[in-house]
Chain A
Amino acid sequence: MSSESRIASTFAALKTAAFMPFFTIGDPDVETTAALVKEAARRGADLIELGVPFSDPIADGPTIQASYYRALDRGFKVAQVFDLAKKLRANGVTIPLVCMVSHSLVFKRGTGSFFRSAREAGYDGMIVPDLPAGYEGDATVQARAHGLEHIFLCAPTTTPERRAQICSKSGGFIYYISVAGITGARDALPPDLEANVKDLKSRTKTPVCVGFGIGQPAQAAAVSKLADGVIVGSALVKLAAELHAAGKSREAVVAEVGAQIEALARATHGK
C-alpha cells in the first residue's frame, strides 16, 4: 500500500489520536446511515467504520447483532454497501471509509470481486473479522491490487508470534480488540490494555486503534493517550436505535447521535 492512501494520510496529518465511529449500514435505513456519516465527518470524526449486516455474526455483541437483524428484516442487500459509498463520494464526502464485513459475505461474492466493488464505490479499507492471519488466502494481495488497506484485528489473547504476523500484514491500521469478548460498551477499561497497545506499537509503525467496549467520552480520552485511534460502535448504534424506536425523525436521530460523536471526538482529540 502506498503512503498516499487516504487512511495513511489521515493518520499522518493528525497530531492527536483519531476518532472512528461505527455504524451499521441500513439501520434503520441506508439514508440514515448516509446522513450519520456526513454528520460524523462534520462533528469531528476522522475515519468511519461501516458494518455490513450478516445473519450469523459471531464476533459482534447483542447490540450490533440486533442492528444487523433490524437491517436484514428491512430487506438489506449487499449491493447497498456499494451504493452507499458511491453516493457519499458523489456528494463530496472525503472522510476515509472502512468496511467491516464477515468473510461469509465476501467469500460468496468472491474476494477479488467484493474488494474491487468496494474500492470502486469509495471504500479505503476492509476489515474481515472472521478472516484471521494465516487464513486470509489472497485477500491481502487482492486488497493491495485494488488499492484497499486490509486491516487485521489483534486480541488480548493473541500470542506474540501472531502479533508479529498481524503487525507485518495489517495495512492502514491495526484494530486492537480491547477485551477478550464480543463488541459492546463496558464501564471500565481492561487493566492489560496499556501494556498490550505498547507492545504492538513497539513492533510496528502502523497506527494502532482500539475498539470494543468504549462508549463514554472519558473512556475515549483515556484510550486516546495510549493508542492512535479510538473506535466507538455499540454505544452509538444503541443510541440511534433507541431514538428511532422512540419515534424521532431522521433529522433528530442524526442530530442527537452527532452531538454524542462530537463529545467523543473532542475527548479523543484532547479538547
Chain B
Amino acid sequence: MAQETSTLDAAGVQPDARGYFGGADGFGGRYIPETLMPACEELERAYAAARNDPAFQRELDELLREYVGRPNPLTLAARMTAELGGARVYLKREDLNHTGAHKINNTLGQALLTKRMGKRRVIAETGAGQHGVATATAAALFGLECCVYMGAEDVRRQALNVFRMELLGAKVVPVTTGQRTLKDACNEAMRDWMSSVRETHYIIGSVMGPHPFPMLVRDFQAVIGREVKEQCQQKEGRLPDAVVACVGGGSNAMGIFHPFLGDASVRLVGVEAAGEGVSTDRHAATLAKGGPGVLHGMKTVVLQDADGQTANVHSVSAGLDYPGVGPEHAYLHATKRADYVSVTDGEALDAFKYLARLEGIIPALESAHAIAYVRKLAPKMKRDEILVVNVSGRGDKDCEEARRLLGMGG
C-alpha cells in the first residue's frame, strides 16, 4: 500500500485526492455511473469550501449544541464496572441526542451542504430507520423535501421509525427487491439519485459510498471522538486505553475512532454482527469473513460469492445488516490500527437486557453489539485502565422486535 498518499497524524487518516485510503491500491474511490460523477465532484467542492468556512462551522456547532443537545455525557458505568471487575467502563451517550442516535450529527451537516449547493430535495437509505429519522428531521428543520428508501423487511422490523419519518413529513418508500434490507435500500436511493441528481442531494448515512462521502460523514461524526477525548481528559486526566464501537457501515465507530488514530496507546475495537455465528452463512461480519470487492461506489471489504455477487447477510440488528463496510475501516483493518471482532445475535440480545438492568439504559440493538464485546474485554483489562464504549443509539425502536425475540411480556 502506498503510504505516501495518506497521512496518519493527530488529525487522523486522510484519503488521497481521488478518495483512496492507503493509495490507489487501498480502499475507497468512486465506482459509480457517469451520471453521478458531476454530483460527487460538486459535493467535493462544496464540502472543501464549507470545511474552510468558519461561518459553516459556527452554524453546525450551534445546531449541534442548541438542537441536538451536544455535548452529550460520558457516563461512568459504575455497576457494570463493578460487575465486570476490570477496566473502568464509560458510556458515550449518543443515545441522548435529539432523535436518539449519532445519525443526526451527519444529517445536519449534509443538510447544511444541501442548502449551500442550492438543492431543494434530499434522499436517504435507512436500515434500522435511525438515519431515515435523522434525515427527515434535518429536512423538516431546513424545509427540504425528503424521501427515504427502506427495505420492506426493515419496514416491518422498525414500524415505529417509519411512523416517525412520515410524521416528520418524509415519504418512506419500502424496497421489495433483493434481500429487502439495507443494501437494497442503498441501490434504490442510488437509482433515485441517478434520475434526480440535478435538484437532489443524497444524504448517505454511513462512512460508505463514493468519495467524498466516507470522509465527509466521518468528519461530521468525529465530534463524538473529540468530545470523548476532552471528557476523558477532564474526568481521568488522560486518554482511554480502549475505545469500542459497533460497525455496520461504520459511522459511529469512525466518528469515535478518528480523533484517536494518532494516539498509539489507545486500542480501537470495532464490533461487527456475527448474526447466528461467523461459521454459519447467516452473519454480517464483513471484515471477519469478507474480501476485497466493489459495492455501492467504493472499493472496500465485501461479503461476496466467488463470482463477486453480493452475499446474503443477516443480523438481528437492521443497522448492522450490511454486506460491506466503510473503506476507512477496511484500511484500518488492513493496517491493523484498529481491531475488529464480532458478536452474535444472542450475545447482543443479552447485552441489550444487561445494560438495561445494570445501568438503566436501553441501548439500540446495534450498540448492544458493542456492549456485548465490552463484557468480554473489560474483565481482561486492569482496574486502572479506561474503556469507552459508544452507545450509538437508544433502544426504543428495538423494544417491539426484542420482546418478540426474547419471548418476554406481551
Determine whether the beta carbon of A54 is less than 8 Å from that of B299.
no
Known: A104-B293, A157-B39, A181-B194. Is A130-B33 also a contact (CB below 8 A)?
A: yes
Q: Which listed residue (A59, A69, A132, A159) contacts B178, Cβ 8 A?
A: A69
Identify the closest chain A residue to B32 (Cβ).
A130
Whether B195 sits at the interface, judged by CB under 8 Å, is yes
Task: Tell which of A55, A77, A129, A157 has the most Cβ of chain B within 10 Å.
Answer: A55
Among B126-134, B307-315, B375-383, the stretch in contact with A = B307-315
Given A56-B310, A69-B178, A108-B307, the answer on whether A130 and B194 have CB atoms closer than 8 Å is: no
Chain B nearest CB, measured from A171 CB (Å)? 16
Q: Provide the residues of chain A in CB contact with B183, threshold 8 Å.
A: 56
Check B31 against A182 for contact (C-beta < 8 Å).
Answer: no
| B34 at interface, CB cutoff 8 A | yes
Query: Chain A nearest CB: distance from B12 CB in Å?
Result: 24
The answer to whether B308 and A109 have CB atoms under 8 Å apart is yes
Do residues B197 and A135 form an inter-chain contact, with CB atoms below 8 A? no
Contact-residue size bin, chain B (C-beta under 8 Å from the other chain): 35 or more
Which B13-43 residues have a C-beta within 8 angstroms of A?
Answer: 18, 24, 29-39, 41
Tell me, rounded to whole Å, the shortest Cβ–Cβ distance linking A239 to chain B.
21
Q: Which residues of A contact B178 (CB under 8 A)?
A: 55-56, 69
Asked whether A58 and B187 contact (CB < 8 A) given A162-B38, A181-B35, A181-B194, the answer is yes
Q: Would you give the 0/1 interface string for B287-320, flagging 1 where the beta carbon is closer than 8 Å to chain A? A: 0000011111101001010111110000000000
Interface string of A141-166 (1 = CB under 8 A from B): 00000000000111111110010001
A112 close to B (CB within 8 Å): no
Point out the residues of chain A lying under 8 angstroms from B30, CB to CB: 132, 134-135
A105 within 8 A of B: yes
Contact with A along B46-86 (1 / 0, CB 8 A): 00000000000000000000000000000000000000000
Q: Does A78 contact B (CB under 8 A)?
A: yes
Residues of the B chain whose Cβ atoms lie less than 8 Å from the Cβ of A152: 34
Report if A58-B308 is in contact (Cβ < 8 Å); known contacts: A132-B30, A132-B33, A177-B34. no
Contacts of A159 in B (CB 8 A): 38, 41
Q: Please give, as numbers and ranges, the residues of chain B lying within 8 Å of A189 by CB-CB distance.
A: none
Chain B residues 303 to 344 lying within 8 A of chain A, measured CB to CB, are: 304, 306-310
In contact, A58 and B198 (Cβ under 8 angstroms): no
CA distance A130 to B308 in the complex (A): 14
B242 to chain A, nearest CB (A): 35
A-B contact count (CB 8 A): 125
Contact of B238 with A by CB under 8 A? no
Give every chain B residue within 8 A of A182 (Cβ-Cβ). Answer: 191, 194-195
Q: Which residue of B lies closest to A181 (CB)?
A: B195
B191 contacts A155, C-beta separation under 8 Å: no
A58 near B307: Cβ-Cβ < 8 Å: no
| Contact in complex: A78, B307 (CB < 8 Å) | yes
Contacting pair A55 B18 (CB below 8 A)? no
A116 within 8 A of B: no
Are B195 and A108 closer than 8 Å at their CB atoms?
Answer: no
Q: A132-B34, A134-B18, A135-B29 are in contact. Are A77 and B307 (CB under 8 A)?
A: yes
Q: How far is the CB of B140 from chain A (nearest CB, A)?
A: 27
- Is A32 part of the binding interface, using a Cβ–Cβ cutoff of 8 Å? no
Chain A residue with the shortest CB-CB distance to B193: A58
Within the complex, what minimum Cβ distance (angstroms) separates A190 from chain B? 12
Q: Indicate if B7 sits at the interface (CB-CB under 8 A).
A: no
Assess whether A180 is in contact with B41, with CB atoms less than 8 Å apart.
no
A223 to B29, CA, bound (A): 34
CA distance in complex: A155, B302 (Å): 28
A:49-82 near B, CB below 8 Å: 54-59, 61, 65, 69, 72, 77-78
From A54, A166, A179, B309 is in contact (CB under 8 Å) with A54
How far apart are the CA atoms of A78 and B307 in the complex, in Å?
6
Q: Is B190 an interface residue (CB 8 A)?
A: yes
Docked pose: A59 CA to B294 CA in angstroms = 14
Asked if B233 CB lies within 8 Å of chain A CBs, one says no
Q: Is B5 an interface residue (CB 8 A)?
A: no
Whether B35 and A56, one on each chain, are in contact in the complex, defined by CB atoms closer than 8 angstroms, is no
> How far apart are B93's CB and chain A's nearest CB, in angstroms?
35
Q: Any chain B CB within 8 A of the CB of A270? A: no
B177 at the interface (CB under 8 A from A): yes
Q: Could you tell me the distance in whole angstroms from the C-beta of B174 to the nearest C-beta in chain A?
A: 14
Check if A105 sits within 8 Å of B308, measured CB to CB.
yes
A162–B37 touching, CB < 8 Å: yes
Question: Are the CB atoms of A107 and B38 closer together than 8 Å?
Answer: no
A90-114 Cβ-contact flags toward B at 8 Å (1 or 0): 0000000000001111111100000
Q: Which residues of A contact B24 (CB under 8 A)?
A: 137
Give 27 A-B contacts (CB < 8 Å), ordered by A residue: A54-B309, A55-B178, A56-B184, A56-B310, A58-B32, A59-B35, A69-B177, A72-B309, A102-B294, A102-B308, A104-B31, A104-B294, A104-B310, A105-B307, A108-B293, A108-B306, A132-B34, A134-B30, A134-B37, A135-B18, A135-B30, A153-B34, A155-B33, A158-B37, A166-B34, A177-B33, A177-B34
| 15 new A-B contacts at CB < 8 Å, known A69-B178, A135-B30 | A54-B308, A57-B187, A58-B297, A59-B194, A61-B191, A108-B304, A108-B306, A108-B307, A131-B31, A132-B34, A152-B34, A155-B34, A157-B35, A162-B38, A177-B35
